[in-house]
Amino acid sequence: MLTTVVMYIVALVAYAADLGFGRRSAAVAEERAEAKVLVGAAGAETVEDAGPAGAAASAEASEASEASEDAGAERQRVDWARLAVVLNVLGWAAHLGILVTRGLAEHRWPWGNMYEFMTALSFAAVTAFMIVALRYKARFLGAFVMAAVVIALGVDNIWLYDSAGPVSPALNSYWIAIHVTAAIIATGSFTVAGAATILYLLKSRAETSEAGVGGGMLSRIPSAADLDRLSMRVTTFAFPIWTAAIIMGAIWADEAWGRYWGWDPKEVWSFVTWIVYAAYLHARATAGWRGRKAAILSLIGFGCLLFNFFGVNYMFSGMHSYA
């Protein structure tokens, strides 16, 4: 666990450095082009006086200098990105080792309490981010997802830690490998979608402000429209899995407690979360909701998801209070 957290922290710093400093090459090229336009008129007479040979030599020297600067900027960008990705993968592998060794120590699926569920949830969030970063070139999410994961693992180890041991009889079932796994995958994916939604709101505000996007970190991430689409795509992937988790949980409840649905607090808030995300996808598909309205609805769903995980487990008593 210590190895995982350290790897993620350093990866977080590397992702932030790549986001903050690793994409300067385009800005440098643009500034150089503007400078060339301003200086061009003043230097034209000098180049002409030097003759064709002098003009050719000057052009070659200028191009060589620009190529050298571009190569230096590109090396800087790739180095930060590679460091972040390598550390991310190493941390992910160590994180997988936590789950495997915990399961081997307990001879069961390692998500039978809050500590184990949080560990698995963080792993799912990192996995979902890595897939999204590879599929949609969304490496810019790394700093934000890693920050959430580091905080989650910190809370997990400081306040939620529980020693390895057996689970309650209600959890001693093969359904834990189906129902809980689906909930973990969906929650991890919703976390990535939530990070993209928050970034969308920040980027949208920057784009519509009087000063425009300007400099800083927000100027180096995709447009608000791209972030909006990315959030929707990840939510579209996670929603059916969350639906399946609820359905399989009902089947498991019938086997364990003799009823499919009993309006337990966990069941109620799982259903509320499902309703909000269903409304989000329905509004986008039928009413054409885009932008801020859809983003706010998405964040409401994410808030319900977090409350279902933290609030219900500690504020209410019910059949799911084993955690």
Is it the case that residue 9 has pLDDT exceeding 70? yes
Return the number of other C-beta atoms located less than 10 Å from residue 52's C-beta: 9
Query: Which has more pLDDT, 7 or 48?
Result: 7
Cβ(147)–Cβ(16) below 8 Å: no
pLDDT of residue 122: 97
Helix (H) or strand (E) holding 282, with range, is helix 265-282
Distance CA 222, CA 235 (A): 18
State the DSSP string of 245-272: HHHHHHHHHHHHHS-S----HHHHHHHH
Q: What is the pLDDT of residues 206-226, one digit of tens each?
A: 888 755 544 566 778 899 999
Domain limits, the chain: 2-315
Q: What is the pLDDT of residues 261-289, one digit of tens each?
A: 889 899 999 999 999 999 999 999 988 88
The alpha carbon of 307 is separated from its chain's Cα centroid by a whole number of angstroms, namely: 19
Q: What is the pLDDT of residues 295-320, one digit of tens each?
A: 999 999 999 999 998 888 888 777 77
137: left (phi over 0), alpha (psi -120 to 50) or beta: left
Cβ(221)–Cβ(19) below 8 Å: yes
Mention every residue, 6+ apart, whose C-beta is less than 8 A from residue 134.
none
pLDDT of residue 272: 97
Q: What is the pTM of this model?
A: 0.83
